[in-house]
Amino acid sequence: MGEKRFGEEDGFGYVCAICEDFGELLCCEQCREGFHLACIGLESCPESDSWLCDDCRQSKVRCFDCKEFGCYKSDSQRCSVRTCGKIYHYECTNKWEKPPGKKGGIVCPHHHCDGCWNSKSNRVRKEKIHKCLKCPVAYHEFCMPTGAGLLEDIPGFMLCPKHNEEWKCQNDEEPTEDVKTAFDRLPLPSVPQDFKLPHTLQAYAKRLVNKPPAFTHIRRNHYVVGSKPRRRPEDDSMQCRCEGLSGSAGACDKDCLCGILLTTCSASCKCGDKCFNVPFQRRPGRKMKPAKTESCGWGLQADEDIQAGDFLVEYVGEVIDDETCEKRLWAMKEQGETNFYMCEISREMVIDATFKGNLSRFINHSCEPNCVLQKW
Q: Quote the pLDDT of residue 7.
A: 39
Mean predicted confidence (pLDDT) in 59-73:
82
Contacts of 316 (CB under 8 A, 6+ apart): 218, 219, 220, 221, 351, 353, 356, 357, 358, 360
Q: Given CA atoms 60, 63, 68, 70 in this order, what sign does their dihedral have?
A: negative
CA angle, 356 as apex, 350 and 361 as ends, to 5°? 70
Residue 365 is given by DSSP the state P
**Residue with more model confidence, 176 or 191:** 176
pLDDT band at 229 (very low <50, low <70, confident <90, very high): low
Query: For the segment 109-135, what is each residue's pLDDT rounded down to a tens digit?
Result: 888 888 776 554 444 445 788 888 888
**Minimal CA–CA distance to 93: which of 110, 71, 115, 76?**
76
N- to C-terminal Cα distance for the chain?
A: 95
- Rounded Cα distance between 340 and 298, Å, is 11
Residue 256 CA to residue 249 CA, distance in Å, equals 15
Q: What is the pLDDT of residue 374?
A: 84
Q: Report all structural domains of the chain as residue ranges with CATH numbers, in order of start.
A: 284-362 (2.170.270.10)
pTM: 0.43
Predicted local distance difference test score (pLDDT) of residue 199: 65
Helix (H, G, I), strand (E, B) or coil at 257: helix
Mean pLDDT throughout 2-27? 61
